[in-house]
Chains A and B, each alone.
Chain A
Amino acid sequence: MKQHALARLGQSAILVWLVSTIVFFWVRLLPGGPFQTMFGQQANPQVIKNMATEFGLNQPLYMQYLNWMSDLVLLDGGRSITSGEKVTSILLQAAPKSISIAVLGAVIGLSLAFPAAIISATHKDRLPDIVSTIIAYIGLSMPGFFIGILLALIFGVYLGWLPVFGYTPLSEGVIPWLKSVALPAAAVGLPYGAVVMRITRSSLIDTLNAPYLRTARAKGVGSRVRLYKHALQNALIPIVTIAGIQFGIIVVGTVTVEFVFGINALGRLLVESILQRNYPVTQGVIILIAVMMILINIIVDLTYTVLDPQISYDSEARS
């Protein structure tokens, strides 16, 4: 187990290095440099030269790369070209907003998906199943930002219960924070929940039809124990896989939903920094997102070992 975790960590480090290298060269492939975008065509060449020297952009490419890599190891992402602010502090400001929306979104999605799926699977082809399946289909046919607009219209404009613009940090109190992220989180969580609900439902139905459950029933195990202890535990593995893989929906959702609710989180930072050719910020955002995705992947993998004792990473080097 420990060995496996270490191996995974090593692989992840290589992956992060690969991502950062690709990003480093990719941003420099973008047409137009940061200063042309900042000052336009008529910029004073001397000013541009001075700026380039200040940010080390006049050095040969391999030097820039080596400098950046050695800074990165020390968790220093350089400074923003447009504001001069440290990239790490920009990310530290933006990331909590994205993470709040994503985590709360996942919680909302999953807490709707599981009960709905259990009801659906145990009432297959009857009214509760039909209703929740229809809702799930509608949920996964709407982009997160449209759900966000609908929620903003209903709860913000019409009922006036929740703010439709901006973000309140957690440090200003749990309730204001919750109020500011509730709608964006629901907007990213609902499509995710719809996907997870469908997978959970079909996975549960497969399991409920398995011979060992018929045996359990025949020997008189109660229906509740059959469902929660026997069926759900076995159905959980494909569900966890999907819940992990589909986490991408949440990431995409947060990026677009930010625009709906006027929250300046990672998505906006990404789009703006690319448009401004703000190399250090773009690099920082993409690496941060990559690290988060890799972490989720590892968590999903480790969850398997908890769910199914048959899966252990001791003997085999790779799963």
Chain B
Amino acid sequence: MSSSTDSLDAADRQQRDWFGPVMDTVLSDKRAVVGAAVIGSIIVLAVFAPYLAPTEPQTTYDLLEPPNSHSEGDFDLDGTTEEIWHPLGTDSQGKDILTELIYGARISLLVAFATVGFALLVGTTIGMLAGYYRGWIDSLLMRYIDLQWAFPEIVLAVAIIAVAGGIGVVPVIIAIGFGFVDDFARLVRSEVLKTREEAYVTAARAVGMRPRRVMFREILPNVTGTILVQITLLIPIAILWEAGLSFIGMGVSPSTPTWGLLLADGRQFLHEAWWISVLPGLAILVTVLSFTLFGEGLREAFDVSEREVHDR
């Protein structure tokens, strides 16, 4: 018994050895390094938003101030007048845009990570079961994928949010994540189908390993790379989705600052204040681009072909 555990551990260690070479390849890819650096700074901004944002998120100043302007007045109600610098201007309610962008990063990243996490969990499980047991789970999954084609993801997302009865973080996460479930399910399923008849899987089954262990310890490690790549390539798409839903008023909440909401506000003041819509748009562009570049670097490092993963 103990000898078989030893050899399994050895196999585990060997499987973990991919980490070094992959890191080397990613680090030698300039695009990926730049992407990772930008992602890192955005995460820091989001996590430490209350300390890094120049103003309080709910305080309002002069309306529609252009970038690099100042508001004068008693904003902290202490009886003295102060001058507040707005490096990126203020919006139609007088909120500081830099502050809103920093707080908006929180929602964007939270929704993106949670969405992909949700899809990963559900999709991997479904794909695993479908590939391993075949039968009705498999045919149900395949029919579902056929059906999803006829429901463009935006229809699906709006539908889920509507049924959830109102707006909030969780409905948005499920609404976007739902559209990604099939990406993971398909990916895992095809890998399981490829490996389930391999000698080492049959062997694992023959020594009496339980199905769950075979699936997660023997088969799943084969797809780790592809799954990681898929995760990094879906995060930017999730960010675009969240912004889009916010923009059409079906996002997290009308009172939470998000990039999409700020863009929608700016749309109404296109003639007076271009910065309200352009700056959050640039924030989306930079974030999405960084994740895409990092994901592409990972994709090359893991040698995953473009056809295997869903990207834009």
Query: Using a CB–CB distance below 8 Å, which chain A residues touch chain B?
Result: 15-16, 18-19, 26, 29-32, 137-138, 140-143, 145-146, 149-150, 152-153, 156-157, 164, 191, 194-195, 199, 202, 238, 246, 248-249, 251-252, 255-256, 259-260, 267, 270-271, 274-275, 286, 289-290, 293-294, 297
Are A153 and B274 CB-contacts (below 8 A) given A145-B244, A255-B248, A271-B158?
A: yes
The 7 closest A-B pairs by CB, nearest first: A146-B281, A141-B289, A141-B288, A31-B165, A290-B150, A251-B152, A252-B154
CB atoms of A149 and B277 under 8 A apart: yes
Q: B145 an interface residue at 8 Å Cβ cutoff?
A: no
B281 and A150 within 8 A (CB): yes
Chain A residue with Cβ nearest B272: A157
B167 → chain A closest CB, angstroms = 11
A153 touches B270 (CB 8 A): yes
Contact A149 B153 (CB under 8 A): no
Looking at the complex, which one of B151, B248, B278 makes contact with A153 (CB distance below 8 Å)? Answer: B278
What CA separation (Å) do A87 and B83 show in the bound complex?
56
| Contacts A15-B146, A289-B152; A138 near B159 (Cβ below 8 A) | no
SS class, residues of chain A in contact with chain B: helix
Asked if B244 contacts A252 (CB within 8 A), the reply is yes
Interface residue? B243 (CB, 8 A):
yes
19 contacts between A and B (CB under 8 A): A16-B150, A18-B147, A19-B150, A32-B165, A138-B289, A142-B285, A149-B266, A149-B278, A152-B270, A153-B270, A164-B270, A246-B312, A248-B153, A252-B152, A252-B154, A256-B247, A271-B250, A293-B150, A293-B152
Task: Give the CA-CA distance A149 to B267 in the complex, in Å.
Answer: 7
Chain A CB within 8 A of B306 CB:
yes
CB closest chain-B residue, reference A285: B155
Q: Mark B254-290, 1 if CB is under 8 A from A, else 0.
A: 0000000001101100110010011001001100110
**A293 adjacent to B274 (CB under 8 Å):** no
B151 contact from A19, A146, A149, Cβ within 8 A: A19
Question: When the two chains form their complex, are residues B236 and A141 in contact, meaning their CB atoms are under 8 A apart?
Answer: yes
Contacts of A270 in B (CB 8 A): 155, 158
Please, which residues of chain A bring their CB within 8 A of the CB of B278?
149-150, 153
B1 at the interface (CB under 8 A from A): no
Choose one: B263, B281, B312; the contact of A140 (CB below 8 Å).
Answer: B312
Taken together as a complex, chains A and B put the C-alpha atoms of A256 and B281 apart, in Å, by: 14
Q: B residues within 8 Å of A by Cβ?
A: 146-147, 149-155, 158-159, 162-163, 165, 236, 240, 243-244, 247-250, 263-264, 266-267, 270-271, 274, 277-278, 281, 284-285, 288-289, 292-293, 306-307, 312
Q: A138-B285, A157-B270 are in contact. Are A195 and B147 (CB under 8 A)?
A: no
Residues of B within 8 A of A260 (CB): 267
- B270 partner residues in chain A, CB cutoff 8 A: 149, 152-153, 156-157, 164
Contacting B163 at CB < 8 Å: which of A16, A26, A249?
A26
> B residues within 8 A CB of A191?
312
Kindly report which residue of chain A lies nearest to residue B160, judged by CB atoms: A26
Report chain B residues within 8 Å CB of A275.
162
Q: Which residues of A contact B152 (CB under 8 A)?
A: 248, 251-252, 289, 293
Question: Among B158, B263, B292, B312, which residue has its beta carbon within 8 angstroms of that of A249?
Answer: B312
Q: Which residues of A contact B150 (CB under 8 A)?
A: 15-16, 19, 290, 293-294
A238-B307, A251-B152 given; 17 more Cβ-contact pairs under 8 Å: A19-B147, A26-B159, A30-B163, A137-B289, A141-B292, A142-B281, A142-B288, A143-B284, A146-B277, A153-B277, A157-B271, A191-B312, A199-B306, A260-B267, A267-B154, A289-B152, A297-B149
CA distance A248 to B147 in the complex (A): 14
The verdict on A259 contacting B264 (CB below 8 Å), with A146-B285, A150-B278, A270-B155 known, is yes
- Min Cβ gap A161→B in Å is 15
- A195 with B154: CB separation less than 8 A: no
Interface contact A259-B248, CB-CB below 8 Å: yes
B149 contact set on A, CB distance < 8 A: 293-294, 297
Task: Determine the chain B residues whose CB is within 8 A of the CB of A30 once the complex forms.
Answer: 162-163, 165
Query: Would you call B264 and A142 a contact (CB within 8 A)?
Result: no
Chain A hits for B240, CB < 8 A: 143
- In the complex formed, the residue of B with least CB distance to A23 is B159
Within the complex, the shortest CB–CB distance from B195 to chain A, in Å, comes to 25
Residues in B with CB closer than 8 Å to A141 are 236, 284-285, 288-289, 292
Cβ contact within 8 Å between A290 and B151: yes
Closest chain B residue to A297, Cβ basis: B149
A317–B312 Cα gap in the complex (Å)?
32
Q: Which of A142, A199, A202 has the most CB of B within 10 A?
A: A142
CB distance from A192 to the nearest CB of B (A): 10
Chain A residues with CB under 8 Å of B162's CB are 30, 274-275
